Amino acid sequence: MTTTEHSYATAPQLIETLKKYQQIAAFVGLVFLLLLVAGYFLVSPEQFFRSYLIGLWFWFGAGMGCFGLLMVQYLTGGAWGIVIRRLLEAGAKTLYVMVPLFIPILLFPGKLYFWATAAGANDKIVKMKDLYLNVPFLWIRFVIYAIVWLGVVTLLRKWGKLEEETHSTEYSNKLESLSAPALVAFFVTVTFASIDFVMSLDVTWASTIYGFLIIVGQALTALSLIVATLTLLGRFAPMDHAVTKRHLHDLGKLMLALVMLWTYLSFSQLLIIWSGNLPQEITWYTRRLNGGWWWVALILLLFHFALPFCLLLSQSLKRNPKTIAWIAIFIVCIRAIDIFWLIEPNFVDPLHSTFTLPWLDVVAPLGFGGLWLALFYRNLPERALLPLGSPDLEKAVNHGRSH
């Protein structure tokens, strides 16, 4: 072990702490996932699958957000990304479990999607889209998505490990070269996946920026989770002397940028559809702005945009580990509400919509969240918490320090 590797060794206390959090998350996940399964029999199979999609899509999005940010970091460099690279890798690795969890939805698509039912097959609008909205083609697309996502994650992890072991720029260049086309494939596949699993819940509605809105939300969820975790790791070696207030400040600014971008895209989508005044498209919003659902929209306006925007403008709050951690945790909770708002109203009557919060919609995100965090905490100690083979490591560690 070199002097640098020794100075960046993970403290035994941190490994024990991560193991403890992994066990707690696994227990919570198991309990709530069992409650979710019980809901299949106690409530209805239809509500089970709705809640299943809410929980899975949210935490799958956290893994995809880590995956996307990891590739952005390889392309752009920057001290902000070096200190969270291993966390992003650990989050991306959860996709090995989260992606296969879509298979139950694919096996019983009629429980969620009108276009996959016998009645939907005779619907005029569905017939216009049946070349795309059909179950065999959905399976084909899903297999393509899985191969692209898991294949790229595997290569990034493999070459990242070789970079660390060899300290060779050859693998650093490979990681950068792969990330450019893979990031394009990422945007394309996530866009189509968001259409397949979420937007097609309402066959009468479409949005050209829907996929980008989903991707920005996933990135915000992932970054918030990473920032909250980074403040925990910052109490122990090696992160206690590697992470500076400048790193937190930079990550806080990136969170602010994503909050603003999500708001801009959400407002643009609403403005374009509302100004078009097309009944089929407006129905998507009337479901969400009537019968009590407008309270959820107001919550998102105030707490997904206004409050985080104001808090993240403060330099002192971004530089303080405790405050930035609480802001990040708050954003994660609000992101879950946004996913609920995207999915659940699709199953209410647009003319007589009434707000409902099924208990399964609370259970599912907690269950999948426990599973995701257990996987995440298990993945973290597998490698050194800092990318020892990165040529920019020393520069990143000294970021924000006076010389």
Rounded CA separation 25/320 (Å): 26
Residue 3 pLDDT greater than 50, yes or no = no
Model confidence band, residue 391 (pLDDT cutoffs 50, 70, 90): confident
Rounded CA separation 230/30 (Å): 25
- The CA-to-CA distance between both ends of the chain, in Å, stands at 27
Model confidence band, residue 115 (pLDDT cutoffs 50, 70, 90): very high
Structure tokens at 201: 């819940």
Higher pLDDT, 78 or 177: 177
Rounded CA separation 231/223 (Å): 12
Higher pLDDT, 279 or 25: 25
Residue with tokens 């951690």: 325
pLDDT at position 354 is 82
Residue with tokens 């597998």: 382
* Of the listed ranges 150-154, 171-175, 203-207, the one predicted with least confidence: 203-207
Residue 395 pLDDT greater than 70, yes or no = yes
Q: 34: Cβ–Cβ under 8 A, 6 or more apart, which residues?
A: 367
Beta strands in 79-189 (DSSP E): none
pLDDT at position 296 is 95
pLDDT at position 7 is 64
